[in-house]
Chain A
Amino acid sequence: MILLHGIALGGKWLLVLFVMIGIVPLLAASYQFLLVALHSRHNHYGRVGDHLPRTAILIPAWNEEAVIGASIDRLMLLDYPRDRLRICVVDDASTDDTPKVIQAKIAEYPGNVVHMRREKGGQGKAHTLNHGLAILLEDDWMEALLVMDADVIYEPPSLKKMTRHLADPEVGAVTAYIKEGSRPGNYMTRFIGYEYITAQAAARRSQNVFGVLACLAGGAQLHSRVNIEAIGGRIDTSSLAEDTFTTFKTQLAGRRVVFEPNAVVWAEEPGSIDSLWKQRLRWARGNVQVTKQFKHLWFRPDPGHRLGSFTFGVFWFCLFLLPVIMILISASLVALYFIDFPLSWETFHLLWIVAGLCYVFTTLFALLIDTDTSRHTWKEGVLFPGLISIAIIAYACFPRPARWCIHTSTDLMGFHLTHGDIHLAILFAYIWLAASMPVAWTARLLEPRRAGRYLSPAIVYIVGYGPLLCGVTFNSYIKELRGAAMTWDKTEKSGKVGMPA
C-alpha cells in the first residue's frame, strides 16, 4: 500500500516536472536576448580591418528571369572596387530566359559577370553551388566567396562591412542581417519581418557573444578562400540544410563564424502560409538531418569549438524539440487535472507566468533592437504567440482583473458561467499548447478556399505565428521518420523586393 502510494506520488511529481520542462525554452530564449546586451563588449569589431579581398559572388539560379537582371545591376552598385568583384551566376539548367538575361549583363558589365551553365539541373542548391565552386577553385583569382540567392538585395556598404571581418585570419565566414523586403507586404511578410529581428538581429548577436553561430544565412554567406578549401572545397549535398552544414564544418575546422548586423540584405519572403510551410519544412528537415549528422557533437565540450557546449546544446534542442515539449506539457497537465486538480492549476499558473514575463521581455527588447522594422511589424510582434496564448498569459499573470473582466462581460451578455463551463475552459487552456499546432495547420488547409482569404490570416493571428512554425517542425519529424523524398521546393518569387528609400 505504501509502495503504491509512493509510486502515485512520484508519478504526480514526474508530471509536474514534464510541465516545468516548458520553462527551459522560455528561459533559454530570454538568456539569448540577455546576451545581446553584452554584444557591445563581446563582438568582433576590435579585430576588423580595411580588407577588400577579390570576391566571387556565387548566385545559384533556376528560372530567375524575373529577378536575376536587377540583382546583377544592384550588385554592381555595391560600394566595392569593381576589379575585385566577379558575379558568377550558376544557371541550373533554366528553361526560361535566365541565360539570355545573364548574357545581356555580361555585355553590360564586361569582366564582372560570368555565366556558369549546368545542362542537367534540378538536383538542389548545394549541387548548383558546387558546380560554380569547382570552376572558381580552378584558378587563384578568388580570395573570398560570397554565396547569395538570386532575389536578394545587398545594401551598398554591406559587402565591405562583411569583408572587414576577414582581416582576422581566425574568421572563416561572415553572415549578414537578412531583412524581409517584399513590396507590397502582407500580414505574413510582416510576421516574417518580426521573426527575423528575433532569429537574426537578436539570436545571431547573442551567438556572436557566445562564440558559436548556428547557421550562416543561406542568402548571405561570405567565406575566406582558405575556409572553403579547409572544409573540402565543396558544399554538403546530403541534406536540405547545406548552409548549416557549412557553418558547423567551418567551426569544427577551428575558424570563427561572425554575424555582421550592419550588413543588411533584403529578401523577398513567402507571402502565404503554403509557401512559408514549404520553405520552413525544408529548413526544419535540414535541421533534423544536421542534428542526426552531428550527433557526436551535442553536449560534448571541445576546446577547439563551442558547438559541443552545454548552453549551445540547450539553445539548439529547445528549438528542435519545441513541438514535443508543447505536447508533453499539455498531456501532463491533462493527466494532472484528473489526478490532482489543485496541483495542476498551480503548475499551469507558474508555467504561464514565466511565459508572460519572458514574452514581455523578449518582445519589447526585439521591437527596440530594430526600430525601423518594428515600426511596421510591431502588431505581428505583439501577436507572435497568438491571441489565445496572450489571453492565457493575461489570466495567469493577473487572475483577479481577468476574472472581473470575464464575469462582467458574461453578465453583460446575459449568461452565467457554470462550474462545468469553467472546467471546460480550464481543460481547453491545458491542451492549447498541443492543439495550437493542428489548428495552425487548418489555416494552411483553408488558405486556397474562398473563405480562407480572410479566415487563414485570422487563424494565424488567433493561434500565433510561433505555433505555426512549431507545426512545420512537427511535420518535419514525420517526413524524416517516413523517409520522405528530399524535394527542393523552390519558394515562388515575384521579384517585388525592395529596400526603403
Chain B
Amino acid sequence: MKEFDVTEQTDVADEMAYERGLTVKALVALAVVVVIVLVRQRYLG
C-alpha cells in the first residue's frame, strides 16, 4: 500500500474497541456451537 500524509489522525479508539468486542462475541457464538455438538454427542444423538 502507498503511504500518504494525514495531518491529524482521527480518533478511532471507540470504533476499535467495538470491533474487538465483536471478536469476543464471535468466540462466544462459536463456543455455543461447540457446546451443542458436545451435548449432542454425549447425551442426545
Contact = CB atoms under 8 A, between A and B. Distances in A.
A262 B29 contact: no
Interface of A: 33-34, 36-40, 43, 45, 47-50, 164, 167-170, 205, 262, 357, 360-361, 364-365, 368-369, 397-401
A369 to B, nearest CB: 6
Interface of B: 1-2, 4, 6-10, 12, 15-16, 18-20, 22-23, 25-30, 32-33, 36-37, 40, 44-45
Contacts of B16: 40, 45
A311 B11 CA distance: 33
15 contacts: A39-B22, A40-B19, A49-B6, A49-B7, A49-B10, A50-B6, A169-B2, A170-B2, A357-B33, A364-B28, A368-B28, A397-B40, A398-B45, A399-B45, A401-B44
A47 B15 CA distance: 13
A59 B10 CA distance: 28
Contacts of B36: 357, 360, 397
Contacts of A401: 44
Contacts of B27: 37
A438 to B, nearest CB: 32
The secondary-structure label for the interface of chain A is helix
A362 B8 CA distance: 38
A168 B4 contact: yes
B33 A50 contact: no
Given A45-B15, A47-B6, A48-B6, 6 more contacts: A47-B4, A50-B8, A170-B1, A262-B18, A364-B32, A365-B29
A453 to B, nearest CB: 36
Contacts of B33: 357, 360-361
B3 to A, nearest CB: 10
Nearest to A260: B15
B22 A37 contact: yes
B23 A48 contact: no
A360 B2 CA distance: 41
A47 B6 CA distance: 8
A167 B6 contact: yes
